[in-house]
Structure 1
Amino acid sequence: MGSTRLGVAMTRNVYQRSLRDFQDYADDVTRSRHQTFDDAIRRFASTLVDNTPLGDVIAQLPQVDFDQWYSKQLTTVGGMVGSGTITWPVDGRERLAMQVEMVRRMASDRLDVLDFAQNFMCVGSRFDDNIAEFVQQIFRPFVRDFLRIVHDTPSFSDGLHQRTPPQESEVSMSDELTLFISHSVRDTEIAKSIVTLFEKAFKISARRIRCTSVDGYRLPAGADTNEVLRTEVFGAKLFVALLTPNSLSSPYVLFELGARWGARRPLYPLLAGGATPAQLPAPLNGLNALSMNSADQVRQLLEDASEALSQRLEPAPSFSAEVEEVVAVSTANPHKVSPDILAPLPAVSSSAAEKQPLPKNATSFAGDKIDIHDVHTLRSNSLLSHKNVREIE
C-alpha cells in the first residue's frame, strides 16, 4: 500500500512540477530584456518538449503549417516598420498550435523576436520596448490561453488530481502556501490591506497566506519557525515584496528578497509608502515594480497573479473597495529612504541559506539599529550570515 501511494504521489508531482516550471519560466520571459530574452524563451520552451505532461497536451492540438502561415503574414508588411498585421487562425486550438511553434522557433533561433516585433508591432527604436510589446500583445495572451487548454485536457487534469487525500505529515508547507508577503513590521497596515485584497479577489483561504505581522496569518503555535519560514520563502507560489522606506532600511527584508531572487522563483516588488523605483538596490532595480499608489497598478498586480496562479479573479466590483484601501494606506504618511541603503542586494541561493547565529548589536545598511521584529524575521528565515551585517563596537 505504501509503494502504491508513493507512486501516485510521484505521478502527481510530475504534473505539478511541469505546471510550476511553465508558470515560473513564463514569468521570466515577461520580465526579460533584450539581453536575456533568448535565454528565457529557451528555458520556457523546454517545458513544451515531447513526451512530457505539457508536451502530451500539445500533441493533441491540430497540426499546422507554420511556414505557410508566416509567409502569408509577411506579405502584409509595408514600407514602414511595424506595419504588418498578424492574423491568427480563428479556431482557438489551431491558434495555440501556431503560437507553440512560434515559441519553439524563437527558442531554437529560427525566428528572431526583434525581427518579429519590427515587422508587426514596433513601438520605437529601443529593443526593450519592442520585446515588452511582444510580451504584452502575444506572449501573455498565449500563456493564459494555453493554461486554460491544459486544465481542460482530461489526461492532464486527471494526472494533476490523481491522488488520495494525503496525511497531514506528507504535505509540505510550500505546497500549501499561495502567498507570502515580505515586509517590515512597521508596514503592518499596508501588508494587511494587501492580504485583504488577495482574499477578496481570489477567495484564498487564510491558511494559504503568510504575513507574519498580521493576526490570523502568523505561524501556528508550536511550528518550527526556522524550518517553516525557510521553506515558505522559497516555496510560496506568489512572493510579494512590500518595498517601503521601512523595508528598504532593513537588511533582513532585503536578504529575504535576495534569497527568493537567487532561487529564480517569481517575485513581485510593490512600491508603497513613498518608495520609488530609483531607490531600489540591485538586482531589485532590474525588476518591474508596481506602485501601490496607483489603483490601475494594484489591479495589474491582481491580473499578473491570476495568470501566475492559473486562477480567475472574482468580479471586479466585488474587490474595488479593497483596491482603493490599498492605495489609501500606501499613500498615507510617506517616509524618506536613506541613500546609504542603496547598495546592491546580495543574492542568496537555497543552498546558501544555512542556519547562522545572528550577530549581536547588528545594524542596517543605513547604520541604524535593527528593529527587534525584523531581527526575528530574518532569524526565522535563517538567511543571514555574519558577513552580511556590521557590528557596533
Structure 2
Amino acid sequence: MDEFQDFLDEYDDLTERLLRARYQDFAALAKRVMQMFDRAPEATSTRVRWLRSLFPIGKVEADVLVAPQGMVGSGRMNWPQDLEQSLGAQLNLLQSFTDKEDTAWQFAHNFFYSRSNNINDTLHEMTEHLFEPMFRDLRRYLTRQRNNPVEIEEIPASDRIVQIDHNKASYQEAIGSIAGASEALIGDNTIGPADRDRIKFELDAGILLLTAQTVTMSAIEAVLVRALRWLSSNFAGAALGIAAERALSAVLLLLGGS
C-alpha cells in the first residue's frame, strides 16, 4: 500500500473541490485541505509544516499584500520569488480563510477583479489565478520531496505552527487557568490601572488565539506567554503571581513547550 499515493488521491479530490467551491463552502473545504496535510505521510506532513514556518501569515500581511486603493480588486500581491517561501506564504493565506465563511470572498473582492458582481464569480477569479497554480506547484514539489522529511528541529520554534486539540484535558486546563489568572488580575489591588488593562487585554487575546485550530508559537509568545511571565515575575509569591505561573505552565504543556 502506497501511503503517498493515497495522499495524492485525497489531495487531488479535495483541492479540486475547493477550487470549485461556492463562498458558503469555501472555509469548510479550506479547513479540510489544511487538515489533510496533518494526516499525510510524515515526510510530507513535516515538509508542509516547514514550508509554512518560512513565511508566517504576519509576514504575508506585512510584505506581500498591498491594500486596494479604492477600486474593487485593486489590491496587489508581491509574492516571494523563492518557490518554497511562496508556497509557505500561500498556504498560510489559505489557512487564514478557514475560520469565517466570508473571509475568502472579502479577500477576493479586494484583490481580484471580476466583470460579474456575483460573489462566486469573484471567488473563482481568486481560485483560478492564485490557488490553482499554487496547488499544481505544491503537488510537484511534494512529489519531489516525498522521501525527504524535514527534522522538526529545522522548523524555527518561534514560527512553529501548533495544532490545537480542543478535546484534550490539557486544553481545558489551559483555558481555565488563564481565566483564573484573569480573575486574580481583576481582584488584585496592587497592580496599576494601566497595567491591569493591558494585561487583561493580552490574556483575553491569548484565549482567543487558542480557540483556533492552529496557532503559531510567535503569536502565543508575543501576547499570552509574555503577559503571564510578566505577572509571575512581578507578583511572585502573591495570589496573582501564583495564578499566572499556573496558567503559564498549563499553556506551555498544551503547546509542547518547556
The superposition leaves residues 331-374 of structure 1 with CA deviations (integer Å, 9 ceiling, x where unpaired) of: xxxxxxxxxxxxxxxxxxxxxxxxxxxxxxxxxxxxxxxxxxxx
Q: Secondary structure at the match of 2:73?
A: coil
Partner of residue 27, structure 1: 16
TM-score computed with the length of structure 2 as normaliser? 0.51
Q: Partners of 2:99 and 2:87 in 1: how far apart? A: 18
Using the TM superposition, name which of 44-53 and 142-151 deviates more. 44-53
Matches within 5 A, 1:321-340: none
2:25–2:101 Cα contact (<8 Å) kept: no
Note the aligned Cα RMSD (angstroms): 2.5
Alignment pair present for 1:57 and 2:47: yes
Superposed counterparts of 1:219-298, under 5 Å: none
Name the structure 1 match of 2:120.
Answer: 128
C-alpha distance 70-38 of structure 1, shift in aligned 2 (>3 A): same
Name whichever structure is richer in helix by fraction: 2
Code of the residue aligned with 1:99 in structure 2: it is: Q
CA 1:111–1:80 in structure 2 vs 1: closer, same or farther (change >3 Å)? Answer: same
Aligned mates of 2:28, 2:93 — CA distance in 1: 16
Secondary structure of 1:83's match?
Answer: coil
Whether contact under 8 Å (1:150, 1:156) holds in the other structure is no
User: For 1:35, what is the secondary structure of its paired residue?
Assistant: helix
Query: Which of 29, 35, 48 lines up with 1:40 in the alignment?
Result: 29
TM-score normalised by length of structure 1: 0.34
Question: Pairwise mapping of residues 66-105 of structure 1 onto structure 2 (< 5 A)?
Answer: 66-105=57-96
1:118 CA displacement: 1.3
Runs of 5+ consecutive residues of structure 2 not aligned to the other structure? 150-258
State the alpha-carbon separation in 2 of the partners of residues 146 and 64 from structure 1: 15
**1:65 Cα deviation after fit:** 3.0
**Alpha-carbon distance in structure 1 between the residues aligned to 2:65 and 2:146:** 37
Pair 1:138-2:135 in alignment: no
Q: Distance in 1 between matches of 2:129 and 2:45?
A: 24
2:141 match: secondary structure: helix
Q: Which is greater in Rg?
A: 1
Aligned mates of 2:91, 2:103 — CA distance in 1: 15
Partner amino acid for 2:30? Answer: I
Matched position secondary structure for 2:135? helix
Q: What count of residue pairs does the alignment treat as equivalent?
A: 146
Deviations for 1:243-266, whole angstroms, at most 9, x for unmatched residues?
xxxxxxxxxxxxxxxxxxxxxxxx
Q: RCO (CA 8 Å, sep 6+): is it higher in 1 or 2?
A: 2
Question: Does the C-alpha gap of structure 1 residues 103 and 74 become closer, same or farther in structure 2, counting only changes over 3 Å?
Answer: closer
In the TM superposition, 1:168-183 aligns within 5 A as: none
Task: Tell me if structure 1 keeps the 8 A contact 2:23–2:104.
Answer: no
**Matched residues in 2 for 1:69 and 1:82: separation?**
18
Measured in 2, the distance between the counterparts of 1:77 and 1:21 equals 35
Alignment partner of 2:141 out of 145, 149, 159:
149
Q: In structure 2, what is the Cα distance between the partners aligned to 1:56 and 1:101?
A: 15
The separation in 2 between residues aligned to 1:51 and 1:78, in whole angstroms, is 40
Compared CA separation, residues 151 and 51, structure 1 to 2 (3 A): closer
The C-alpha deviation readout for 1:5-30, integer Å capped at 9, x for no partner, is xxxx3xx2x22221111110011112
Matched, 1:119 2:110: yes
Distance in 2 between residues matched to 1:110 and 1:72, nearest whole Å: 25
2: CA distance between counterparts of 1:156 and 1:43?
A: 24
| 1:121 and 1:130 in contact (8 A); partners too | yes
**How far did 1:106 drift?**
1.3
